[in-house]
A and B are shown apart, each in its own frame.
Chain A
Amino acid sequence: MISEEELIQRCKNNDQSAQKMLFEKYANRMMAVCMRYCKNREDAKDLLHDGFYKVFVNIKKFKGDSAIATWMTRVFINLALNSQRIGRNKYDHYEFDPAMEKESVVAVSEEIDTIAPEVVLAALQQLPDKYKIVLNMYAVERMSHKEIAKKLGITEGSSKSRLSRGRVMLNTLLKHN
């Protein structure tokens, strides 16, 4: 069994078999990242292809300061954010009903363990991008509001309000599902 360091080194030397091994090892995990940042499966697949292409082209820049999975996730997130910035991803027109928001203040915390991950991700995909991205970056990637604001070019206040609104919307969607 080849070690991860050796695998990365071989990828840096453009070894095709090593590239395939790295893809097979992390494709599922990165696909999950893509699904969280994209509207649908097709967009997620495009992001997966673009992301791995970028990973292999830029792998020489990976210094080993963090785990390769962490670095790859950052590459994928940056790519997703860039593609949304240049308007490649279409914003959906999910209309949020204020009445539903009021109702959803009653949390679904009691049922938290019973909700399947696919249901959560499906609900997440229904959120408008600006809420979904902040929710992802804060909750999953554990980035601070300062980092999110810097990455998205918004204020920290905007980041906080988007997170709050995103939580409410997701909670509402889960409750109604």
Chain B
Amino acid sequence: MDNLQHIDELLRKASQAPANALVNDADWVVVERRLKQRKNRIYAVWFFLALISVGSLGLYFGSLPQTNSKIPLTSEAEINLNKGEKSIQNLHKSVVSQTDIKEKKYRIAKVSNSGKEKITAHTDTIVFGTANHLVSDKDDIL
């Protein structure tokens, strides 16, 4: 079969002839379209990855407990602010409690006679809006 080696040469020569007439612009359009489709697929994948990442982060932070009120106060200013808030709350509570018709007040008062501090109590009718009460002679010494 060695005498058929000229077939190789024949093939080599034939393969050097480019297929000029067979390629046209439509072939490039097909390749270009496929490249664009690939690019779009890549963009879509990145978009969904970003979406999933953002969604996951949102869910994570959303699931964290709200610990702002439990954080210990550190600075003096914050402590004072907190005290101020509490006193306002207390004042509000006292105003509300003083709307009762009758209530008994206990307070520490200095009794002028003995010069000692004693707990006094008095019964008084509270009129809405009057928050201040002075120790009067009516106070009962406990």
A48 contacts which chain B residues (CB < 8 A)? Answer: 23, 27
A36 contacts which chain B residues (CB < 8 A)? Answer: 15
Residue of A23, A121, A170, A171 touching B31 (CB-CB under 8 A):
A23
Is A112 in contact with B10, judged by CB distance below 8 angstroms? yes
- Give the residue name and chain of the A residue nearest to B19 (CB): A31
Residue of B10, B19, B30 touching A32 (CB-CB under 8 A):
B19
- For chains A and B in complex, what number of residue pairs have CB atoms within 8 angstroms? 110
Interface presence of B136 (CB below 8 A): no
Asked whether A32 and B15 contact (CB < 8 A) given A49-B31, A105-B3, A168-B1, the answer is: yes
Q: How far is the CB of A101 from chain B (nearest CB, A)?
A: 10
Q: How far is the CB of A9 from chain B (nearest CB, A)?
A: 17
How many positions in chain B have a CB within 8 Å of any CB in the partner chain? 30
Interface presence of A90 (CB below 8 A): no
Q: How far is the CB of B9 from chain A (nearest CB, A)?
A: 7
Is A121 in contact with B14, judged by CB distance below 8 angstroms? yes
Q: How far is the CB of B41 from chain A (nearest CB, A)?
A: 12
Interface presence of B18 (CB below 8 A): yes
Asked whether A112 and B6 contact (CB < 8 A) given A53-B31, A117-B14, the answer is: yes
User: A124 vs B11: C-alpha distance in the bound complex, in angstroms?
Assistant: 9
Is B18 in contact with A139, judged by CB distance below 8 angstroms? no
User: A147 vs B4: C-alpha distance in the bound complex, in angstroms?
Assistant: 22
B5 contacts which chain A residues (CB < 8 A)? Answer: 167
B110 contacts which chain A residues (CB < 8 A)? Answer: none
Interface presence of A52 (CB below 8 A): yes
Give the A-binding residues of B (Cβ under 8 A).
Answer: 1, 3-20, 22-23, 27-28, 30-32, 34-35, 38-39
